[in-house]
């Protein structure tokens, strides 16, 4: 819900920064995309690896824990 308001200013600032370079031929669209990937991908990989290491992301490694019997009826 709170993520979408950041897209508009982000797009505006990116356009403001790179529009003149693209129009004047100082950079190409491919170079722009390469620069963006170099900035975004390392952070994405870091966060993905971090989240993959969380116990909730890998429940099969909690197999040694016994399930709670709080909801079962006592004999």
What confidence tens digit (pLDDT) does each residue in 8-53 have?
Answer: 888 788 888 888 888 888 888 888 889 888 988 999 999 888 888 8
Task: Give a yes or no: residue 67 inside a domain.
Answer: no
Give me the domain span that covers residue 21. 7-54
Query: What is the spatial distance between Cα 52 and Cα 29, in angstroms, rounded to a whole number?
Result: 33
What's this model's pTM, rounded to 2 decimal places? 0.48
60 HSE (CA, 13 A, CB side): 1
**Structural domain total, the chain:** 1
Domain annotation covers residue 20? yes
Does 65 reside within a domain?
no
Give domain status of residue 46, yes or no: yes
Kindly state whether residue 68 falls inside one of the protein's structural domains. no
């Amino acid at each position: 819900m709170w993520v979408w308001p950041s897209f508009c200013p982000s797009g505006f600032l990116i356009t403001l920064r790179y529009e003149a370079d693209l129009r004047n031929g100082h950079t190409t669209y491919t170079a722009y995309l390469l620069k963006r990937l170099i900035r975004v991908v390392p952070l994405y990989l870091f966060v993905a690896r971090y989240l993959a290491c969380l116990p909730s992301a890998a429940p099969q490694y909690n197999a040694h824990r016994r399930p709670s019997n709080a909801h079962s009826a006592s004999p």
